[in-house]
Structure 1
């Protein structure tokens, strides 16, 4: 029952996440801004605070990483608004109003105020629009952020706790299911960084998600190479950052997502077996996941888990390739592109 509830919580989050990304006005752009904010804050915090600071004893970087890690709300509001084409001064002042608030509060306020900010430029004279805009937007954004914060903390905390409790009670089963699902999200036009940042996942679930994305990179590399999806540059790019190849992924979802679930599930199971933990929410991507894990795990354990996850990802790609070629190739032909 705990596993069912944990997976149900993740699927509910994925449904809402997908619905917003594909149906909300500029939803995809807003999610890209949220993913950027996760990298700019949580990844920097993980590397500088925990690795360079706590591990290597560089106090300045430890303090710097801790400071940046607390600016998720500022980064989210600013980057979401910039991604949505809002005038930079309005994006900055709205972002600054999110000081000491979470990344999800910043995301929601940034998205909502992206529709409000252009009205100042539209209806007020030049010069006056900026002055009145910054004076009105800043306190109003702060008020909205403070108002929605308690409910968001309860909602996201409940979802994250359900996933965490299920993972701790049944780590291998959740490693398989969570790893497979997160790797599919990592490769889709959605953002696994944004999803894990919104949920605030930490500990073993975040470790599973990070390792699944790392191991699943080899799944993507194998499946792109064997199915000749693009050139060698496309194969390298999809291994480093799957979102760069969204145009190929969305045209060939069946072999890619099927292989990704298998490879991510295998890699996630390995992460659960070795007890890989990660306290940097929002680092569920190949490169951020690889780097952030260094801060929270013994080096020899992490190295062994990562190497085995890479082989697991390759195995997942091989199995997915065989299944597609033997069972689905005739019914679901590949879609290639004129540029490779």
Structure 2
């Protein structure tokens, strides 16, 4: 029952994403800023701290990765205001104020306070607006972050406990659940790297998380191309790191998440059956995770797993593109056009 409830919570989060992107004021810009912040912090941490520093035992590189990974709050706290068109000085001011908070908590605080900062910036002369924002901005973002943090962390823990519950049951069921859930989390602001770090996932479950994300990227390479979500750059970007294309993913959740979940469940069972392990947490990322899997398991087993995952993921990419061939999708060009229109309206309003 706990597993079902946890999956339902995850699905609810996934449903909220496109609603926020399209319905919330400046939702697309904010979501892009969140994606960029995750790529600027968690992705370097995965490569530098674990894939390079951990596997090759280079402490200097590991320290750099750990430092960058701890800056999620600062990064999103600065990038969200910048996406609103706020002065870089004010944006960095808010970002530094959110240094101690996690990525999602800082995102909520920065998003809400950016509306106020934008108005202060417009309505008060230079110098005066700086003093007002210095006095008001840091206090407000910290208050909002402190209030929202327990709820956000509760959602993460609930999804994490779903994974732990699955792990203690049937191994193949665990593999299927992890293989389906973790790649989906990796394509949401929750971030699979954050989730697996939060619940200290290691061993076979962590290997499932790592290689399931690799399989998801391989699937999306063919799926995005067949569905024509965007151009070659879009397809390459989502293959390298899904978070870079969170705007297009969040606007097409049904075909992307459904196809990835089915393929991921099968991939997860394959990885579990082969007994692969990853003994460091936070490696639920497509390519850094793959490097670590190679470093901690027999080469022949890893090659066999990767071969099966490649075939299965590519097969489901074609099945999914056929199944959703008549489904209404939103393309990158459409999203960019809407964003450009929104920016144009904002610029005209400022001039007036």
TM-score of the two chains, using structure 2 as the length reference:
0.73
Aligned-pair CA distance for 1:71: 1.8
Give how far 1:259 is off.
4.3
- Distance (whole Å) between structure 2 residues aligned to residue 48 and residue 3 of structure 1: 33
Q: Match of 1:196?
A: 192
**What is aligned with 1:298?**
296
Does 1:117 find its partner at 2:117? Answer: yes
Instruction: Note closer, same or farther for the CA distance 1:293–1:155 as it changes in structure 2 (3 Å cut).
Output: same
Is 2:183–2:260's contact at 8 Å kept on the other side of the alignment? Answer: yes
Which 10-residue stretch deviates more, 272-281 or 102-111?
Answer: 272-281
- Quote the Cα distance in structure 2 between the aligned partners of 1:154 and 1:247: 27
CA spacing shift, 1:139–1:213, aligned 2, 3 Å: same
CA distance in 1, matches of 2:145, 2:253: 40
Q: Please, what is the CA RMSD of the aligned residues?
A: 3.9
Name the residue aligned to 1:37.
37
Match in the other structure for 2:315: 315
- Is 1:89 aligned to residue 124 of structure 2? no
Q: In the TM superposition, what is the alpha-carbon distance from 1:181 to its structure 2 partner?
A: 5.6
Q: CA deviation at 1:87?
A: 2.0
Aligned partner of 1:280 in structure 2 is 282
Contact 1:178 1:209 survives alignment (8 Å): yes
Q: In the alignment, is residue 70 of structure 1 matched against residue 70 of structure 2?
A: yes
Determine the C-alpha separation between the residues in 2 that align with 1:165 and 1:306: 26
Match for residue 337 of structure 2?
Answer: none
Q: How far 1:109 sits from its partner (Å)?
A: 1.0
Alignment check: 8 A CA contact 1:182 1:192 kept: no
Q: Deviations over 1:185-217 (max 9, x none)?
A: 76xxxx435443675565266654543342233
**Equivalent residue, structure 1, for 2:348:** none
Alignment gaps of 5+ in structure 2 = 334-352
SS of 1:294's partner is helix
Q: Is the contact between residue 237 and residue 245 of structure 1 (CA under 8 Å) also seen in structure 2?
A: no
Distance 1:106-1:293 versus aligned 2 partners, 3 A rule: farther
Confirm or deny: 8 A CA contact 1:77 1:110 kept in the other structure. yes
**Alignment pair present for 1:46 and 2:46:** yes
Measure, in 1, the Cα distance between the counterparts of 2:155 and 2:328: 41
Contact 1:105/1:152 (CA < 8 Å) preserved in 2? yes
The residue that corresponds to 1:289 in the other structure is 286
Alpha-carbon shift at residue 156 of structure 1 (Å): 2.6
- In structure 1, the residue matched to 2:106 is 106
* Stretches of structure 1 lacking an aligned partner (at least 5 in a row): none
Question: Contact 2:163/2:177 (CA < 8 Å) preserved in 1?
Answer: no
Aligned to 1:211: 211
**TM-score, scaled relative to structure 1:** 0.75
8 Å CA contact 1:207, 1:271 repeated in 2:
yes
Question: 1:9–1:163: 8 Å Cα contact kept in structure 2?
Answer: no
The aligned counterpart of 1:56 is 56
| 3-state DSSP of counterpart to 1:192 | coil
Distance in 2, matches of 1:194 and 1:185, equals 6
- Does the Cα contact within 8 Å between 1:215 and 1:311 map onto a contact in 2? no
SS in 2 for 1:169: coil
Q: Does 1:15 align with 2:12?
A: no
1:31 and 1:336 map into 2 onto residues whose CA distance is 16
Whole-Å separation in 1 of the counterparts to 2:234 and 2:66: 36
Of 272-281 and 133-142, deviating more is 272-281
Distance 1:136 1:221, change over 3 A: closer
Query: Structure 1 175/12 Cα, relative in aligned 2: closer, same or farther at 3 Å?
Result: farther
